Chains A and B, each alone.
Chain A
Amino acid sequence: MSTIRPRSLPAYLLALPAGLWMFGAVVMPALLILWVSLWGGTAFGPGNPITLANYERFFANASYRGLIANTFLHTLMLMAITGVLGYGIAYFLVMKVRSRAWRTALFLAFIIPFWTSALIRAIAWVPFLGVNGVINQALMGLGITERPIEIFLYSRTGISMAQVSLYTLMASGPVVYMLAQIPPSLREAAMTLKAPPGVVFRRVIFPLTLPGVVIGQVLVFLSVMADFATVQWIGGNKIALLPNLILNFYEGAQLRAAAVVSVVLMACMLVGTFIAMRVVDIRKLGT
């Protein structure tokens, strides 16, 4: 017994405002984007004929197709880097740090920047990456290079460097959670049965953390696929990925084209998430 009866009218009434709000602000807009992407004609309004011509035009352009591939490649690379880095950090924090106070301190140092503005964190990379930036000053100061290297700002390298710092926590957080759930006795049992540490990790620890790894990878995948901001600010206008194309079309008042790219992006994200979820389920059946 609690202050709310199961399946009572108040339960529905309490859920209604939030449900309507989310439906109106998230589900409806997504459906509208899908609808607009199918509009023929030129006017803005519900009277347009429905056609696939916008999609045909988009996929006929080789450079747009290349952009989809590029976005995927960039995202996969980020997933690999943040995945390895995030797992290493999670393993260290949970399994290797013995003192509670140290663990809390390190974890806070890891997590706090996540709560500050992503915009500011991206801007903070600019003084680092420029031709006269901190990295180049340090490299020249140490005598590693004589002239400033221009590969950092306005480049894929710079974007990736900033994104690694922004998204590693997402790959790591779920793994931290899963690692903390593993009872120490499991590991001790395996060790007692004379399994070497490498085998304990491969056969016991890693399989148990796999759901966390996959969830982290999905979070990084979704974030990087849709991250127009870091690409725009650190890449200048020289680099564009799929989400930047949406913005370009939108600013050029080409709503249909922007909607097409949005639907393509949504489809990519859904497919990626779907594949990831299958990986977890298959593993669950196996063990």
Chain B
Amino acid sequence: MHWRTRSRLMTALLGTLTVGFLLYQWLPVFTLGLLSFSGPTGGTTFPMNGVSLHWYRELIEASIMNDFKPPFGRSVLLAAACSVVTCVLAVASAQAMRGRFRGHNLFFYLLLLGIMAPGLLVGFGVAIMGRLLGIEPAWNTTAFFVQVSWTLPFGFLVMLAIFNRFDSRLEEAALTLGANRITTFRRITLPIVLPGVIGAALFGFTLSYDEFPRTMFTSGADMTLPLAVMAQLDRELTPELYAIGTATTLLSLVAILACTLILVSLRRTARPGS
């Protein structure tokens, strides 16, 4: 066989593989979305028994047993708090890395460890630590503490990438013109990296909002949304969970879209002096 024919055959094969995998990956998500609109007598699989907003209405008018509103509120608050702390600490640590201090490599690996270490073990360890110190686990104390260790490394990596593309000659110009370092950072550096900071914030928000392995051990009696969903899943799978899943996925998609737009706008503007 001529190599050109073989190459074309390979392209067809790999193309089928790729498209096949994309379908495989997306079909369950679409099915979930479709089934969340099934009728009041619809079950957890096809047939849908009509089309309605019944399961979304159930979410809003829920009884005490499976009321997802308080966990949702907690999750949003917690995610917002993680997002803010992630932003501040990520900018601080990325700026510190630019200062190439002694041990900055170790510091880099310490932060990376937050991504690599399995959430199950981190959560379990923090639960033990809490018990040894006599701290009662709660969603807004211990769970917050452990979640930041998950969201911060991602924000840190984002900020490192942003500072990598950053043109420090702009800072030099400001410093030569007599501005001190703090003013230069506030007036020059921060405005330029701001889109990246917002990206890190959104990143932190969705990561915290979806987090469960760490939170599971550290949230105490008041659950966050993923934990409430898990508890309901242990009792019974209902189309209500599909409705939550669809709503949550849409929320994540909006966040990703915002992130992408920010990165695109960044690419358009931040090409100084080249």
Contacts and interface: CB of A to CB of B under 8 A. Distances in A.
A123 B92 contact: no
A117 B249 contact: yes
Given A21-B149, A121-B28, A168-B21, 19 more contacts: A4-B96, A6-B101, A18-B93, A25-B114, A28-B125, A93-B18, A109-B22, A113-B25, A115-B252, A115-B256, A117-B245, A119-B210, A123-B237, A123-B241, A125-B28, A137-B46, A228-B213, A246-B124, A262-B120
B266 interface: no
A58 interface: no
B256 A89 contact: no
The majority secondary structure among interface residues of chain A is: helix
Nearest to B246: A120
B93 A269 contact: no
> When A and B form their complex, which 4 residue pairs have the shortest distance between CB atoms, in order from nearest?
A29-B125, A11-B99, A226-B118, A25-B149
A109 B256 CA distance: 12
B125 A14 contact: no
A4 B99 contact: yes
Interface string B175-212: 10000010011001100000000000000001001101
B146 interface: yes
A46 B226 CA distance: 33
Report the interface size class on chain B. Answer: 35 or more
30 contacts: A4-B98, A6-B101, A7-B101, A11-B96, A14-B95, A17-B92, A19-B107, A24-B145, A25-B126, A27-B110, A30-B121, A33-B125, A45-B132, A89-B18, A106-B22, A110-B18, A110-B21, A116-B249, A117-B252, A120-B29, A121-B28, A127-B44, A130-B45, A165-B24, A168-B25, A229-B212, A247-B120, A255-B128, A262-B120, A265-B118
Contacts of A101: none
B113 A26 contact: yes
A239 interface: no
Q: In the complex, which range does the number of interface residues on chain A fall in? A: 35 or more
Interface of A: 1-8, 10-12, 14-15, 17-19, 21-30, 32-33, 36, 44-46, 85, 88-89, 91-93, 96, 106, 108-110, 112-113, 115-121, 123-128, 130, 132-134, 137, 164-165, 168, 196-197, 222, 225-226, 228-229, 233, 243, 246-247, 250, 255, 258-259, 262, 265-266, 269
A243 B148 CA distance: 23
Contacts of B31: 124, 127-128, 134
A89 B21 contact: yes
A14 B93 contact: yes
A15 B101 contact: yes
Interface in B226-274: 226, 229-230, 233, 237, 241-242, 244-245, 248-249, 252-253, 255-256, 260
B98 A2 contact: yes
Given A17-B92, A127-B32, A26 B122 contact: yes
Nearest to B11: A96
A21 B111 CA distance: 10
Contacts of A28: 125, 129
B28 A26 contact: no
Contacts of B35: 127
A135 to B, nearest CB: 10
